[in-house]
Amino acid sequence: MNKLKMLGAILAVALSTQACATGGLVDLGVYDRAEGRRLPVHWHHGRAYVAGKPGNEYRVTLRNRSGEPLLAVVSVDGVNVITGESADPRQSGYVLAPGRSVDILGWRKSLSQTAAFYFAELADSYAARTGRPDNVGVIGVALFRKKHPRPRPPAAFGPAQESAAPASRAADAENKLGTGHGRREHSQAYYVQFERASSNPAETVTLYYDSRRKLVARGVLRGPQPFPGFVPDPPGVTLPWHGGHG
Protein backbone atom coordinates (compact mmCIF):
# COMPACT_ATOMS: atom_id res chain seq x y z
CA MET A 1 0.00 0.00 0.00
CA ASN A 2 1.58 3.33 -1.00
CA LYS A 3 1.55 6.38 1.27
CA LEU A 4 -1.49 8.01 -0.34
CA LYS A 5 -3.54 4.84 -0.09
CA MET A 6 -2.45 4.38 3.51
CA LEU A 7 -3.44 7.98 4.37
CA GLY A 8 -6.82 7.45 2.72
CA ALA A 9 -7.37 4.27 4.71
CA ILE A 10 -6.45 5.97 7.98
CA LEU A 11 -8.78 8.89 7.29
CA ALA A 12 -11.60 6.56 6.31
CA VAL A 13 -11.29 4.73 9.62
CA ALA A 14 -11.04 7.97 11.59
CA LEU A 15 -14.09 9.50 9.93
CA SER A 16 -16.30 6.42 10.02
CA THR A 17 -19.35 6.66 12.29
CA GLN A 18 -22.12 4.32 13.25
CA ALA A 19 -25.15 4.46 10.95
CA CYS A 20 -27.79 3.23 13.42
CA ALA A 21 -28.79 3.42 17.04
CA THR A 22 -28.46 -0.26 17.77
CA GLY A 23 -30.52 -2.09 20.34
CA GLY A 24 -30.50 -5.76 21.14
CA LEU A 25 -33.51 -6.41 18.91
CA VAL A 26 -33.45 -3.74 16.18
CA ASP A 27 -31.32 -1.19 14.38
CA LEU A 28 -32.88 2.29 14.27
CA GLY A 29 -31.68 4.81 11.71
CA VAL A 30 -32.60 7.97 9.79
CA TYR A 31 -32.19 8.31 6.02
CA ASP A 32 -32.06 11.82 4.52
CA ARG A 33 -34.15 11.52 1.37
CA ALA A 34 -33.06 14.89 -0.02
CA GLU A 35 -29.35 14.07 0.17
CA GLY A 36 -29.71 10.35 -0.51
CA ARG A 37 -27.74 9.17 2.50
CA ARG A 38 -28.11 7.59 5.88
CA LEU A 39 -27.33 10.08 8.64
CA PRO A 40 -24.39 9.03 10.81
CA VAL A 41 -25.12 8.44 14.48
CA HIS A 42 -23.03 10.29 17.06
CA TRP A 43 -22.91 9.10 20.67
CA HIS A 44 -22.71 11.62 23.52
CA HIS A 45 -23.11 10.80 27.21
CA GLY A 46 -24.86 7.53 26.37
CA ARG A 47 -27.34 9.04 23.89
CA ALA A 48 -27.46 8.56 20.13
CA TYR A 49 -27.87 11.69 17.95
CA VAL A 50 -28.20 12.52 14.26
CA ALA A 51 -27.85 15.95 12.67
CA GLY A 52 -30.78 16.92 10.43
CA LYS A 53 -30.92 19.66 7.83
CA PRO A 54 -33.98 21.94 8.04
CA GLY A 55 -36.32 21.40 5.10
CA ASN A 56 -34.96 17.97 4.11
CA GLU A 57 -37.37 15.05 3.98
CA TYR A 58 -36.30 11.94 5.84
CA ARG A 59 -37.48 8.45 6.68
CA VAL A 60 -37.09 6.32 9.77
CA THR A 61 -35.59 2.89 9.12
CA LEU A 62 -35.97 -0.17 11.33
CA ARG A 63 -34.28 -3.55 10.89
CA ASN A 64 -35.26 -6.55 12.97
CA ARG A 65 -32.01 -8.10 14.21
CA SER A 66 -33.77 -10.91 16.05
CA GLY A 67 -35.01 -14.28 14.88
CA GLU A 68 -38.60 -13.60 15.88
CA PRO A 69 -41.42 -11.27 14.79
CA LEU A 70 -41.59 -7.97 16.65
CA LEU A 71 -44.13 -5.21 17.11
CA ALA A 72 -42.43 -1.80 16.89
CA VAL A 73 -44.47 1.03 18.40
CA VAL A 74 -42.85 4.12 16.86
CA SER A 75 -43.13 7.76 17.83
CA VAL A 76 -41.57 10.96 16.48
CA ASP A 77 -41.48 14.04 18.72
CA GLY A 78 -43.60 12.17 21.27
CA VAL A 79 -46.40 11.52 18.74
CA ASN A 80 -47.46 8.08 17.46
CA VAL A 81 -46.59 8.00 13.76
CA ILE A 82 -49.67 5.90 12.93
CA THR A 83 -52.47 7.30 15.07
CA GLY A 84 -51.26 10.84 15.83
CA GLU A 85 -51.90 10.27 19.55
CA SER A 86 -49.43 11.28 22.24
CA ALA A 87 -46.98 8.39 22.48
CA ASP A 88 -47.85 5.38 24.60
CA PRO A 89 -46.42 1.83 24.34
CA ARG A 90 -49.95 0.39 24.26
CA GLN A 91 -50.71 1.95 20.89
CA SER A 92 -50.45 0.48 17.38
CA GLY A 93 -47.14 -0.32 15.76
CA TYR A 94 -45.45 -1.84 12.74
CA VAL A 95 -44.90 -5.62 12.72
CA LEU A 96 -41.40 -6.66 11.62
CA ALA A 97 -40.69 -10.17 10.37
CA PRO A 98 -37.41 -11.78 11.54
CA GLY A 99 -34.42 -10.21 9.81
CA ARG A 100 -36.58 -7.82 7.77
CA SER A 101 -36.55 -4.02 7.51
CA VAL A 102 -39.22 -1.33 7.22
CA ASP A 103 -38.96 2.26 6.00
CA ILE A 104 -41.38 4.65 7.72
CA LEU A 105 -41.82 7.56 5.31
CA GLY A 106 -44.09 9.78 7.37
CA TRP A 107 -47.23 10.29 9.42
CA ARG A 108 -49.76 7.66 8.40
CA LYS A 109 -52.95 9.11 6.92
CA SER A 110 -54.52 5.83 5.72
CA LEU A 111 -53.49 2.29 4.79
CA SER A 112 -52.15 3.66 1.51
CA GLN A 113 -50.86 7.18 2.27
CA THR A 114 -48.45 8.99 4.54
CA ALA A 115 -47.54 12.67 5.03
CA ALA A 116 -43.78 12.91 4.60
CA PHE A 117 -41.45 13.53 7.53
CA TYR A 118 -39.21 16.55 7.07
CA PHE A 119 -36.89 18.42 9.42
CA ALA A 120 -38.66 21.61 10.47
CA GLU A 121 -38.22 24.50 12.85
CA LEU A 122 -39.97 23.90 16.15
CA ALA A 123 -42.99 26.12 15.37
CA ASP A 124 -43.61 24.23 12.11
CA SER A 125 -43.31 20.76 13.63
CA TYR A 126 -46.43 18.60 13.72
CA ALA A 127 -46.05 18.13 17.48
CA ALA A 128 -45.89 21.88 18.18
CA ARG A 129 -48.73 22.66 15.78
CA THR A 130 -50.91 20.19 17.68
CA GLY A 131 -49.94 21.62 21.09
CA ARG A 132 -47.36 18.98 22.11
CA PRO A 133 -43.86 20.48 21.76
CA ASP A 134 -42.21 18.94 24.85
CA ASN A 135 -40.60 15.91 23.15
CA VAL A 136 -39.57 17.48 19.86
CA GLY A 137 -36.26 16.07 18.63
CA VAL A 138 -36.83 12.48 19.80
CA ILE A 139 -37.51 9.31 17.80
CA GLY A 140 -38.53 6.39 20.00
CA VAL A 141 -39.36 2.75 19.42
CA ALA A 142 -40.98 0.39 21.94
CA LEU A 143 -40.51 -3.26 20.95
CA PHE A 144 -42.76 -6.16 21.84
CA ARG A 145 -42.24 -9.87 21.32
CA LYS A 146 -45.06 -12.02 20.04
CA LYS A 147 -46.99 -14.25 22.39
CA HIS A 148 -46.91 -17.98 21.63
CA PRO A 149 -49.40 -19.59 21.64
CA ARG A 150 -52.03 -16.88 21.20
CA PRO A 151 -55.67 -17.90 21.69
CA ARG A 152 -57.33 -14.66 20.59
CA PRO A 153 -54.85 -12.36 18.89
CA PRO A 154 -55.91 -8.72 19.32
CA ALA A 155 -55.39 -6.42 16.37
CA ALA A 156 -52.03 -4.74 16.34
CA PHE A 157 -51.25 -3.05 13.11
CA GLY A 158 -48.61 -2.22 10.64
CA PRO A 159 -48.51 1.52 11.37
CA ALA A 160 -46.93 2.48 14.58
CA GLN A 161 -46.56 4.45 17.67
CA GLU A 162 -43.79 4.59 20.00
CA SER A 163 -42.94 4.21 23.51
CA ALA A 164 -41.08 6.03 26.00
CA ALA A 165 -38.39 8.26 24.81
CA PRO A 166 -37.14 10.49 27.57
CA ALA A 167 -38.52 14.01 27.33
CA SER A 168 -36.20 16.47 25.67
CA ARG A 169 -36.78 19.83 27.33
CA ALA A 170 -33.87 22.09 26.50
CA ALA A 171 -33.72 25.63 27.83
CA ASP A 172 -33.42 26.84 24.24
CA ALA A 173 -36.32 24.72 23.01
CA GLU A 174 -37.57 27.45 20.71
CA ASN A 175 -34.58 26.80 18.45
CA LYS A 176 -34.86 23.01 18.35
CA LEU A 177 -35.42 21.04 15.19
CA GLY A 178 -38.66 19.07 14.88
CA THR A 179 -40.55 17.06 12.27
CA GLY A 180 -43.09 18.59 9.93
CA HIS A 181 -46.25 17.16 8.35
CA GLY A 182 -45.29 17.14 4.68
CA ARG A 183 -46.55 16.10 1.26
CA ARG A 184 -48.84 13.12 0.78
CA GLU A 185 -47.35 10.04 -0.89
CA HIS A 186 -48.19 6.40 -1.43
CA SER A 187 -47.09 4.04 1.34
CA GLN A 188 -49.00 0.78 1.64
CA ALA A 189 -49.68 -0.91 4.98
CA TYR A 190 -51.87 -3.78 6.12
CA TYR A 191 -53.56 -4.86 9.32
CA VAL A 192 -52.15 -8.04 10.86
CA GLN A 193 -52.75 -10.03 14.03
CA PHE A 194 -50.15 -9.75 16.75
CA GLU A 195 -50.63 -10.59 20.41
CA ARG A 196 -48.00 -9.14 22.70
CA ALA A 197 -46.12 -11.50 24.98
CA SER A 198 -46.12 -8.81 27.68
CA SER A 199 -47.74 -5.45 28.34
CA ASN A 200 -44.25 -4.02 28.93
CA PRO A 201 -41.82 -3.45 26.05
CA ALA A 202 -39.03 -5.99 25.66
CA GLU A 203 -36.77 -3.08 24.69
CA THR A 204 -36.93 0.65 23.98
CA VAL A 205 -34.55 2.31 21.50
CA THR A 206 -34.26 6.10 21.34
CA LEU A 207 -32.59 8.35 18.78
CA TYR A 208 -32.28 12.12 19.26
CA TYR A 209 -31.92 14.66 16.48
CA ASP A 210 -31.29 18.37 16.02
CA SER A 211 -29.55 20.68 13.56
CA ARG A 212 -25.78 20.36 13.21
CA ARG A 213 -25.32 23.89 14.60
CA LYS A 214 -27.28 23.04 17.72
CA LEU A 215 -25.47 19.74 18.23
CA VAL A 216 -22.11 21.51 17.94
CA ALA A 217 -23.26 24.11 20.49
CA ARG A 218 -24.30 21.34 22.88
CA GLY A 219 -20.99 19.50 22.53
CA VAL A 220 -22.44 16.49 20.73
CA LEU A 221 -20.47 17.27 17.55
CA ARG A 222 -17.14 18.98 17.14
CA GLY A 223 -16.96 22.20 15.18
CA PRO A 224 -14.97 22.53 11.94
CA GLN A 225 -11.51 21.07 12.34
CA PRO A 226 -8.41 21.47 10.14
CA PHE A 227 -8.48 18.63 7.61
CA PRO A 228 -6.71 16.32 7.63
CA GLY A 229 -4.50 17.82 10.37
CA PHE A 230 -1.11 18.01 8.66
CA VAL A 231 2.06 19.37 10.28
CA PRO A 232 1.86 23.19 10.88
CA ASP A 233 4.63 25.57 9.90
CA PRO A 234 7.05 26.61 12.66
CA PRO A 235 6.29 30.05 14.16
CA GLY A 236 7.87 33.10 12.48
CA VAL A 237 9.01 31.22 9.39
CA THR A 238 7.68 31.75 5.88
CA LEU A 239 8.68 28.94 3.55
CA PRO A 240 8.60 29.14 -0.27
CA TRP A 241 6.07 26.89 -2.03
CA HIS A 242 7.68 23.83 -3.58
CA GLY A 243 5.44 21.90 -5.91
CA GLY A 244 7.93 19.18 -6.87
CA HIS A 245 8.52 15.71 -5.47
CA GLY A 246 12.24 16.03 -4.72
Q: Is residue 59 part of a domain?
A: yes
Backbone φ and ψ for 51, nearest 5 degrees, come out as -100, 115
Those residues with Cβ within 8 angstroms of residue 78's Cβ, 6 or more apart along the chain or in another chain: 86, 87, 127, 132, 134, 135, 136, 138, 140, 165, 167
Task: Give me the sign of the Cα torsion angle 107, 114, 192, 38.
Answer: negative
Sequence-separated (6 or more) residues with CB below 8 Å from residue 224: none
Closest C-alpha among 141, 101, 132, 105 to residue 31: 105
For residue 8, what pLDDT is reported?
36
pLDDT tens string 12-28: 333 334 667 778 899 99
Q: Which residues pair with 36 in a beta bridge?
A: none
Structure confidence at residue 205 (pLDDT): 95
Q: What is the pLDDT of residue 174?
A: 55
Answer for the pair 48, 206: CB distance below 8 angstroms, yes or no: yes
**Residue 55 domain flag:** yes
The answer to whether residue 222 is domain-embedded is: no
pLDDT in tens, 73-113: 999 999 999 999 999 999 999 999 999 999 999 999 999 99
- Domain of residue 117 covers 16-217
Q: What is the model's pLDDT at position 105?
A: 97
Q: Specify the pTM.
A: 0.75
Q: Per the structure, how many domains does the chain have?
A: 1
Residue 175 in any domain: the answer is: yes
Residue 234 lies in a domain: no
